[in-house]
């Protein structure tokens, strides 16, 4: 689980900001939180509110950027890292960027520091805490003139010297150590465990749309458990939806791709290439069986369902993974095409049924803020752009009682401007 992420000089973020999932003092325990083995309590869900272009998405992009660095390393020395530093200054490339990520995996807390620029991973350090005192797993420095990497391994890594040397030589100046490990044939058990975290537990953004829909279709056909779960998931959102039917998806795919030699593995992975096949995903048949109050049943293709139903269907498989696999995911503007009550219900299902997963969302759904029985102050974050283009990030729990009384209405305080993070709008009358 994620403890916190500190971000500096990344996109519109100039000075260090921090998104923190640790529970604030004085808040009673509920379904939002889970306790770590060391006693620290972490939130399973956090929200970021703010005006458009206020940096909300940048925070999600920071997680995605780290994920990519750790699991999808660059393959050539000439490639640059895919990000921009803070650009609203005279020399934007002179300052380095920095992340500090604290997370838990298999009950152990890790703290990962990363310093980088467009061309080079300059420094890395990964400490872990089996006691109150940190222990080094590895640290890394890059010679910026020779563009060579030097890795120091902690005493807990017992791998042969030749294995360590091979990993060091394969860690390009634009690779992280864990990223290089994914493409290096060495056996270092401590790093193998963290590769599982980086590729699976530290999952990805929640996706809705074609890829997620086709992925769900494959899973419905191949797993009775998943199909039963999706049937219930959709029925809870619309009680007229009785079940989902995916007729012979393998034959559908073979027909669409004009191929009769696809293996099972090909079939399970082919949806990733569908967008390069003349957008034929719209031809995949996924039928919803509706039952009326008179007991009559009718088939309705997914393409004829509402945008909200299609989006909700695409989210189902990802909620399933959050419940049955411990993962961290994030999503930008979850509320799109979803009724506010349905969005809240989705989040409630996540909170009530997950045990070790986390979800970070950005949203403009202010009805959640008005529901004091549902939302927690320490789970509520605000992103605000300053006049110089920099970003502030702060929690509702950061306000003192002079600004925000404990019994105050969050939505009223926000509307009144006491919490900031609102659009700075002028008169609706145009000058010409």
Average pLDDT over residues 206-233: 90
pLDDT of residue 260: 52
pLDDT of residue 251: 62
Across the chain, mean pLDDT equals 90
Distances 282 to 128, 181, 211, 217 between C-alpha atoms, Å: 47, 39, 11, 13
Tell me the domain boundaries of the chain.
1-205+334-432, 210-325
Residue 93: pLDDT band with limits 50, 70, 90: confident
Average pLDDT over residues 397-421: 86
Report the distance separating Cα 92 and Cα 397, nearest Å.
Answer: 33
Residue pLDDT, tens place only, 300-359: 999 999 999 999 999 999 999 999 999 999 999 998 888 999 999 999 999 999 999 999
Q: Are strands 358-362 and 45-49 parallel, antiparallel or unpaired?
A: parallel
pLDDT of residue 346: 96
pLDDT of residue 377: 92
pLDDT above 70 (res 363)? yes
| Spatial CA neighbour of 206 closest among 196, 215, 219, 218 | 215
Residue 179: pLDDT band with limits 50, 70, 90: very high
pLDDT of residue 269: 55
Alpha carbons within 13 A on the beta-carbon side of 406: 3
Class for the domain spanning 1-205+334-432: alpha beta
- DSSP letters spanning 204-242: EE---SHHHHHHHHHHHHH-HHHHHHHHHHHHHH-TTEE
User: Which of 91-100, 194-203, 260-269 bottoms out in mean pLDDT, i.e. has the lowest?
Assistant: 260-269
pLDDT of residue 278: 39
pLDDT of residue 280: 45
pLDDT above 60 (res 112)? yes
pLDDT of residue 211: 83
| Spatial CA neighbour of 381 closest among 364, 394, 369, 397 | 394
Residue pLDDT, tens place only, 266-303: 554 554 454 444 344 456 789 999 999 999 999 999 99
User: Which of 103-112, 309-318, 319-328, 423-432 bottoms out in mean pLDDT, i.e. has the lowest?
Assistant: 423-432
Residue 248: pLDDT band with limits 50, 70, 90: low
Question: Residue 288 in contact with residue 305, Cβ under 8 Å?
Answer: yes
Q: Are strands 121-129 and 108-116 parallel, antiparallel or unpaired?
A: antiparallel
pLDDT of residue 281: 47
Question: Residue 378 in contact with residue 21, Cβ under 8 Å?
Answer: no
User: Which of 248-252, 325-329, 352-356, 395-399 bottoms out in mean pLDDT, i.e. has the lowest?
Assistant: 248-252
What's the distance, Cα to Cα, between the start and end of the chain in Å? 53
The reported pTM is 0.91
Distances 9 to 65, 269, 423 between C-alpha atoms, Å: 13, 37, 23
Average pLDDT over residues 39-47: 97
Residue pLDDT, tens place only, 380-392: 999 999 999 999 9
| Portion of the chain with pLDDT greater than 90, in percent | 72
């Amino acid at each position: 689980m994620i403890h916190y992420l500190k971000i500096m000089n990344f996109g519109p973020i100039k000075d260090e900001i921090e998104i923190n999932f640790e529970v604030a003092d004085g808040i009673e325990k509920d379904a939002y939180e889970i306790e770590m083995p060391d006693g620290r309590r972490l939130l399973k869900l956090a929200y970021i509110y703010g005006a458009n272009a206020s940096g909300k998405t940048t925070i999600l992009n920071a997680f995605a950027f780290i994920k990519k660095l750790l699991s999808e390393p660059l393959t050539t020395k000439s490639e640059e890292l895919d990000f921009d530093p803070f650009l609203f200054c005279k020399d934007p490339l002179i300052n380095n960027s920095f992340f500090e990520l604290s997370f838990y995996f298999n009950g152990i807390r890790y703290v990962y520091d990363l310093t980088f620029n467009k061309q080079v991973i300059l420094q890395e350090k990964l400490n872990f805490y089996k006691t109150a005192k940190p222990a080094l797993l590895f640290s890394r420095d890059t010679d910026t003139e020779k563009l060579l990497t030097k890795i120091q391994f902690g005493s807990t890594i017992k791998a042969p010297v030749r294995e360590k040397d091979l990993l060091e030589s394969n860690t390009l100046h634009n690779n992280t150590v864990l990223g290089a490990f994914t493409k290096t044939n060495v056996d270092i058990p401590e790093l193998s465990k963290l590769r599982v975290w980086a590729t699976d537990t530290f999952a990805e953004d929640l996706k809705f749309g074609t890829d997620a829909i086709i992925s769900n279709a494959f899973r419905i056909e191949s797993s009775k458990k998943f199909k039963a779960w999706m049937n219930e998931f959709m029925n809870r959102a619309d009680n007229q939806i009785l079940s989902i039917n995916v007729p012979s998806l393998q034959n559908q795919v073979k027909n669409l791709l004009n191929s009769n030699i696809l293996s099972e593995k090909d079939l399970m992975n082919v949806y990733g290439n569908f967008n390069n096949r003349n957008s034929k995903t719209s031809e995949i048949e996924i039928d919803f069986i509706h039952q009326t109050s008179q007991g009559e049943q009718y088939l309705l293709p997914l393409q004829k369902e509402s945008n909200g139903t299609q989006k909700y269907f695409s989210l189902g498989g990802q909620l399933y993974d959050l419940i049955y696999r411990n993962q961290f995911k994030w999503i930008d503007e979850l509320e799109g095409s979803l009724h506010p009550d349905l969005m809240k219900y989705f989040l409630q299902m996540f909170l009530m049924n997950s045990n070790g997963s986390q979800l970070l969302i950005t949203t403009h759904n202010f009805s959640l803020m008005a529901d004091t029985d549902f939302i927690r102050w320490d789970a509520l974050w605000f992103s605000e752009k300053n006049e110089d283009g920099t970003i502030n990030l702060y929690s509702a729990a950061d306000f003192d009682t002079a600004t925000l009384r404990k019994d105050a209405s969050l939505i009223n305080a926000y509307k009144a401007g006491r919490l900031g993070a609102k659009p700075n709008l002028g008169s609706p009358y145009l000058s010409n």
